């Protein structure tokens, strides 16, 4: 298994000068596939963080029962999701390809989305497998972003 090594870089910006959403709106067209993850716990002001990830280095998507991983070197792996190779195995195997160092290395990770239809990969719930010729977005799409 090939391992990719990264070192994190982070910049802290005070939220009263630039909101995470306003900053994200400025960069999303410059950096395609960027991601914003914002804390939604407004009850306490301690340890609230927002992350803007730019330039994903890899991705894993799960759609129509197949996990597809792409890596920084351009290689790609596909595995069918089965009883013995579940979605959580695919994600874990994907993450094991990365070694991250740096001050905030525990924040480096996956950013993306999970649709309702992805529930079938984690629970025994029948969901109709639909295909849309114009926009067949994956049930799950997670980008690995070196923050």
Match 């639909």 to its residue by tokens.
130
**For residue 76, what are the CA distances in angstroms to 47, 49, 58, 61, 117?**
37, 32, 10, 11, 24
Q: What's the pLDDT tens digit per position in 100-132?
A: 888 777 777 788 889 999 999 999 888 888 787
Strands 109-114 and 140-145: antiparallel
Identify the helix (H) or strand (E) that includes residue 110.
strand 109-114
What pLDDT, on the 0 to 100 scale, is given for residue 22?
87
Residue 98: how many CB atoms within 10 A of its CB? 18
What are the φ/ψ torsions at residue 78 (nearest 5 degrees)? -125, 135
What pLDDT, on the 0 to 100 scale, is given for residue 58?
94
What pLDDT, on the 0 to 100 scale, is given for residue 82?
94
Q: What's the pLDDT tens digit per position in 62-73?
A: 999 999 999 999
What pLDDT, on the 0 to 100 scale, is given for residue 40?
66
Mean pLDDT value across residues 75-103 = 93
Q: What's the pLDDT tens digit per position in 11-39?
A: 777 767 778 888 889 999 998 888 888 77
Spans of all domains in the chain: 4-145
Report the distance separating Cα 42 and Cα 131, nearest Å. 38
Mean pLDDT value across residues 124-147 = 84
Retrieve residue 27's tokens.
Answer: 């960069």
User: Is 14:23 a contact under the CB 8 Å cutoff?
Assistant: no
């Amino acid at each position: 298994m090939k391992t990719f090594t990264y070192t994190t870089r982070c910049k802290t910006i005070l939220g009263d000068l630039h909101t995470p959403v306003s900053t994200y709106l400025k960069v999303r067209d410059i950096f395609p596939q960027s991601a914003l993850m914002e804390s939604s716990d407004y009850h306490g002001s301690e340890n609230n963080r927002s992350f803007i990830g730019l330039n994903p280095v890899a991705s894993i998507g799960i759609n129509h029962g197949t996990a597809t991983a792409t890596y920084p070197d351009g290689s790609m792996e596909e595995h069918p999701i089965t009883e013995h190779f579940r979605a959580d195995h695919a994600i874990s195997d994907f993450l094991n390809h990365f070694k991250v160092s740096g001050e905030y290395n525990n924040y480096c990770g996956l950013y993306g989305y999970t649709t309702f239809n992805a529930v079938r990969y984690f629970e025994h719930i029948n969901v109709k497998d639909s295909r849309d010729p114009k926009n067949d977005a994956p049930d799950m799409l997670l980008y690995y972003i070196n923050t």
